[in-house]
Every structure is written in structure tokens, then in C-alpha cells.
Amino acid sequence: MDAGADLVELDYRHTKEGVPVVIHDAELDRTTDAFQRWKRRHVRVVAKTAAEIQCLDAGRWFGPRFAGAKVPLLTEALDFILPSSVALIERKAGDAATCIRLLREKGLVNRVIVQSFDWEFLRSFHRQEPAQVLGALGPARVLPGAEGPLAFPGNSMSRG
């Protein structure tokens, strides 16, 4: 954002108690000190609470000057990004209702873009919040019960 980016893309997953945190990987090993802290490999995001995950160092692996950086909650990241940029939120794991609730509470419906490779998630999201702009990632395909490549009834991009 210091460089003037108009759009910031981030990935999120849900923690054990369903809190969206900004992290790409399903496991905490590669980008945090989870192994050093808990002495086990393959610790999954969904197996830990947000408080446990936010105690990890998520910056040292990237370089010494980033040591101590924390895994942000999605709400924290949006608060940081939105004053000057647009957030492109890629859902990696978690239900649609939680993201919708967060966007509604913060007054962010249609002020961000939500995208996913999981078209069933997008269909569920669209049913619950049809006003939200969504991005379907991956090759075009027809979901069961849908007409056209996009499975959202009334979507202006669908064929049929």
C-alpha cells in the first residue's frame, strides 16, 4: 500500500472456533514458528484457536526485519487495507455465513471482492448475500442444478 497499490489480495481460513485469519496454507509450519512452539509438524490452522495462532511469529521465516509479525485476523487486515485500497479476499477454508456476517457488521458488502476456487462456497455465499461481488476462480464448469458455467441464478455472466 505504501507503493500505491489499488488492490490488495489476501487469503483466509477459519480457526478452530471459526474466526477468519489471514493465511494461505492449511498448516502453520511453513510460515510461522508453530513447530518450534508446539514441537509437532503439520499443525493445521483449523486445529488452533485465533489466540493460539496470533501468539506465533509469522515473520521471521521471511527475514529478520519481519520477526515478530503476527497472523492477522481478517477483520484486522480489512481495517488496515480499506482506508486506501480495495481488498480482494480469497477464501481458502470456512463457511460463507461467517464471512457474510463479518462484511455486514463492518458495512463492507460490495466494498470488497470475495473469490474462491470452491464454487459451492460461492453459490452458498450468493444465496445468502446476492449483492456481494464474487469471483469464481479456476476453469469454467457447471455445478449441479445450474445453467451455464456460473452456478448463480440471476448472475449476469451465466449462460442459459
Tell me yes or no: is domain 7-136 CATH 3.30.1050.10. Answer: no
Sketch the domain layout of the chain as residue ranges: 7-136
137-143: long-range contacts, CB 8 A cutoff, minimum separation 24: 137/90, 143/119
C-alpha cell, 84:
486506501
User: What is this structure's pTM?
Assistant: 0.85
- How far is Cα of residue 30 from the mean position of the Cα atoms in its chain? 18
Partners of 72 in beta bridges: none
Tens-place pLDDT, residues 105-155: 999 999 999 999 999 999 999 999 999 999 999 987 666 776 544 544 444
Q: Identity (one letter) of the amino acid at 95?
A: D
Q: Rounded distance, CA 98 to CA 141, Å?
A: 26
Which letter, b or e, does each residue of 89-117 get, where b requires 16 or more Cβ atoms within 10 Å of its Cβ?
bbbbbbbbebbbebbeeeebeeebbbbbe
Beta bridge partners of 87: 8
pLDDT digits (tens, 9 = 90+) for 50-92: 999 999 999 998 999 999 999 999 999 999 999 899 999 999 9
